[in-house]
Amino acid sequence: MNYHTNIISSRVKKSPVKRENLATYNYPIPSRKTYLLLKRSFDIIFSLIFICCAFTWVFPIVSLLIVLDSKGPVFFVQRRIGKNGRSFRCLKFRSMIINEEADEKQAERNDYRITRIGRFLRRTNLDELPQFINVLIGDMSIIGPRPHMFSDWTRFSFVIPEYKLRNLMRPGITGLAQVKGHHGPTPDYRSISTRFYWDAEYIRCAGVRLDLKIVFLTSFKFIKNLLQHFFKSLFKV
């Protein structure tokens, strides 16, 4: 699949889910070749530094915890939708037991498939760290709409026909929708359309300033989550 279009949904003044058709108002996506070049350069440099500095000690520790907690591989590899609708192999630390529903069913609250260490990895987003490898090889970006598995992408496209417009940019490890608090399961129209709205807003407004803001907010939330779980575990002991 390869989509060629130059319009995405416009800003909705109040709530993005109050309009039945999110593409009623459209606007062009401006040409930003310089920005995209800077964005890709930042992706390569940042992911290289992160892999060299963090993976050497984070990967062995997390890998050991996963192996001790449940049977199966350390990594979970899944086909997901990338830029222009092309599929790629998305890497994650495995957070579930081996199951046949992994490529079809979203994780739910209190999902029986999620392992004990997997619950911690998901709450702190540590399960996403292997995606820096995807960033380095060009499948993903550090900032962008989150990549969906095929079943979710198909389902969301039926709900919002314009959903393919998210694929105008490389998917990201984090994005505007995530720093706005939209992550996890998408059980209804409101959750799907609201996330789509913020992804579309990112594509429309993407720039160095916005990317740096998202990186800062994501880092802040990541450190906050780690500290919260550390102190919870400490007091339980």
Would the pLDDT of 3 be above 50?
Answer: no
pTM score, whole prediction:
0.81
> Is the separation of the CB atoms in 60 and 71 below 8 Å?
no
User: Cα torsion at 221, 222, 223, 229 (round to 10°)?
Assistant: 100
Q: Using CA atoms, how far apart are residues 59 and 62, in angstroms rounded to an integer?
A: 5
Domain ranges of the chain: 32-236
Longest dimension (CA), the chain: 56
Q: Using CA atoms, how far apart are residues 204 and 118, in angstroms rounded to an integer?
A: 35
How many CB atoms are located within 10 Å of the residue 57 CB? Answer: 9
pLDDT at 37: 93
pLDDT at 1: 38
Confidence of residue 9 (pLDDT cuts 50, 70, 90): very low
Q: Which has the closest alpha carbon to 88: 42, 49, 144?
A: 144
Burial string for 58-90 (b: 16+ CB within 10 Å, else e) reads ebeebeebbeebeeeeeebeeebbbbeeebbeb
Structure tokens at 88: 């790629």
Residue-wise pLDDT tens digits, 39-78? 999 999 999 999 999 888 999 999 999 999 999 999 999 9
Would the pLDDT of 6 be above 80?
Answer: no
Residue-wise pLDDT tens digits, 76-124? 999 999 999 899 999 999 999 988 888 778 887 788 899 999 999 998 8
Structure tokens at 145: 């709409």
How many CB atoms are located within 10 Å of the residue 157 CB? Answer: 15
DSSP the chain: ------EEEPPPSS-TTS-S-TTSSEEEPPP-HHHHHHHHHHHHHHHHHHHHHHHHHHHHHHHHHHHHHSSS-SEEEEEEE-GGG-EEEEEEE--B---TTTTTS---TT-TTB-HHHHHHHHHTGGGTTHHHHHHHTS-EEESSPP-BHHHHHHHHHH-GGGGGGGGS--EEE-HHHHTT--S---SHHHHHHHHHHHHHHHHH--HHHHHHHHHHHHHHHHHHHHHHHHHHHHH-
pLDDT at 31: 57
